[in-house]
Structure 1
């Protein structure tokens, strides 16, 4: 069993309160307690505190250098399969159990959110769910497929709506059947002596590699898929008629592309936004099952 995070094991000292305990106990951010504990344990790690400040500027410098280098290679130069094998290898050997768990969860949660929107939209929409059971499953171009899924879903949904002259609106009877807890478990993640790297440091390290081994088009699309967080949040809020829940689903305006230099940080926000949106859907489902949803559903 995973040891209790330090901020939960320590006795509260009013003269030296733990900011991590405050964030964990605060209920304004919708996250399940196990997810919040894992997120904050990863965020409060020594790797996040001492290593990330050095890695981040080096990673961003590497992005600039790789961009210059790619001017001299063929436009369609890409090694996606090798990239994903390297990512899976690095995650298994160097990344913390909490970070790996959150990464695997992200694919499941993202697939469920898209399935929720597709099922409750007034038009049929095809989805391509990604539900990796372990880190080895990521070798199957999983990160690239995830980015493609987001854009393909938005295109398919809106093509179908436009073809029928319809718009998304509050669903008459909301279907939550696809919203569930993923089967991946924290205790199954690798726990070797070198599994110390926190989520943000790992993402900052892997982002230049992602840029180097994919085409410019694939990397640009991956970076700008993060700006669809608001779009997906608006779709879900429209179906639920609950726009007030959009405040924490925020990753910049979808119509204003940003520099890829901040892609690592924004990817972390993307993962957290997905967790929060999924948690909100779980709460709406629970309210429905308890018969307490009233006019909101």
Structure 2
């Protein structure tokens, strides 16, 4: 964003947040997010799309109550998602969506790799093109998260292990300082949708083509942000980054009608935690982290 365009009589709120470094986040991600917030799509289309999304979800909810097994097709859903992302979503929004899978995978690998006595074989998701979306990418992301929590805690109970800072040095080889230059996203005249508009548009399709269990589980998984953040805090020995988590209290689920907004917060929570781990790996801001004893 161009600071030379700053007008003290009409300051740009997104420029202010772009320049502010109080919240740790990848620079390319931050730039994309601020441009996305300032886009015409977010200004003019989002309010109408939000209304359409909520109304549509209400009628789909009623339809699925009477006909729960009609239209259940994850394969068809993900083909629609891949087509929509390629044709209508802006490059900035696509970058934020694709990065999320990479960041989320590395965070789970960090947790699993820094708890002694635990062995979890996950299913890493690092999509590099739109074809990868067709392989049930979004559904697998939710399944991975729940399976990770279940398998981790089963081993913790069976082996009577407590999550704590590792006795040896933190393992950070799985954390990459990725600026995401290896994917070029389409930028045609139709690629205009901002991140929140795209999510609001796709959510009713998610609700329609997934089973009720899959859709509700996907919505509730967002509140596991707090759970993952707590695991990380126990490993790092500091709770500082917990203040950056907004999706909380997974034992008290939110309504699915707020899933789209909470999904954006979920992405932000993952990005901030990942950037904290990147900074630790690069020996930045280590004064705010209690380093494990070597």
Give the TM interval when normalised to the shorter protein. over 0.9
CA contact (8 A) 2:280 2:286 kept: no
- 1:226 equivalent in structure 2: 222
Q: CA distance change for structure 1 residues 76 and 151 in 2, over 3 Å: closer, same or farther? A: farther
Shift of 1:182: 4.0
User: Whole-Å Cα distance in 1 between the matches of residues 66 and 289 of structure 2?
Assistant: 61
1:192 to 179, 188, 192: 188
Secondary structure of the residue aligned to 2:186 is coil
User: Whole-Å Cα distance in 1 between the matches of residues 153 and 289 of structure 2?
Assistant: 30
- 2:249 equivalent in structure 1: 253
TM-score (norm 2): 0.94
User: Whole-Å Cα distance in 1 between the matches of residues 59 and 76 of structure 2?
Assistant: 21
User: Whole-Å Cα distance in 2 between the matches of residues 293 and 227 of structure 1?
Assistant: 26
Q: 5 Å matches for 1:258-277?
A: 258-277=254-273
2:164 to 165, 169, 173: 169
TM-score (norm 1): 0.93
Secondary structure of the residue aligned to 2:228 is helix
1:152 to 126, 147, 151: 147
CA contact (8 A) 2:56 2:204 kept: yes
User: Whole-Å Cα distance in 1 between the matches of residues 259 and 286 of structure 2?
Assistant: 42
Q: CA distance change for structure 1 residues 183 and 284 in 2, over 3 Å: closer, same or farther? A: closer
Q: CA distance change for structure 1 residues 268 and 291 in 2, over 3 Å: closer, same or farther? A: closer
CA contact (8 A) 1:133 1:184 kept: no
| 1:154-180 CA distance string (max 9 Å, x none) | 000000000011111112221000000
Shift of 1:72: 2.4
CA contact (8 A) 1:250 1:273 kept: yes
- 2:120 equivalent in structure 1: 125
CA contact (8 A) 1:134 1:184 kept: no
Does 255-264 or 167-176 show the bigger shift?
167-176
User: Whole-Å Cα distance in 2 between the matches of residues 93 and 119 of structure 1?
Assistant: 38
Answering whether residue 213 of structure 2 is matched by residue 217 of structure 1, we say yes
User: Whole-Å Cα distance in 2 between the matches of residues 293 and 244 of structure 1?
Assistant: 8
Q: 5 Å matches for 1:38-77?
A: 38-75=32-69
| 1:228-250 CA distance string (max 9 Å, x none) | 00100111111011201111122
In structure 2, runs of 5+ residues without a counterpart are: none
Answering whether residue 20 of structure 2 is matched by residue 23 of structure 1, we say no
User: Whole-Å Cα distance in 2 between the matches of residues 60 and 292 of structure 1?
Assistant: 45
CA contact (8 A) 1:106 1:275 kept: yes
CA contact (8 A) 2:71 2:208 kept: no
User: Whole-Å Cα distance in 2 between the matches of residues 97 and 9 of structure 1?
Assistant: 22
Q: CA distance change for structure 1 residues 174 and 76 in 2, over 3 Å: closer, same or farther? A: farther
- 1:91 equivalent in structure 2: 85
Structure 1 runs of 4+ aligned residues shifted over 6 Å read: 290-294
User: Whole-Å Cα distance in 1 between the matches of residues 221 and 229 of structure 2?
Assistant: 13
Q: CA distance change for structure 1 residues 77 and 291 in 2, over 3 Å: closer, same or farther? A: closer
Q: CA distance change for structure 1 residues 15 and 74 in 2, over 3 Å: closer, same or farther? A: closer
Shift of 1:209: 0.5
Shift of 1:18: 1.4
In structure 1, runs of 5+ residues without a counterpart are: none
Query: When the two structures are aligned, how many residues end up with a matched partner?
Result: 290
Secondary structure of the residue aligned to 2:5 is coil
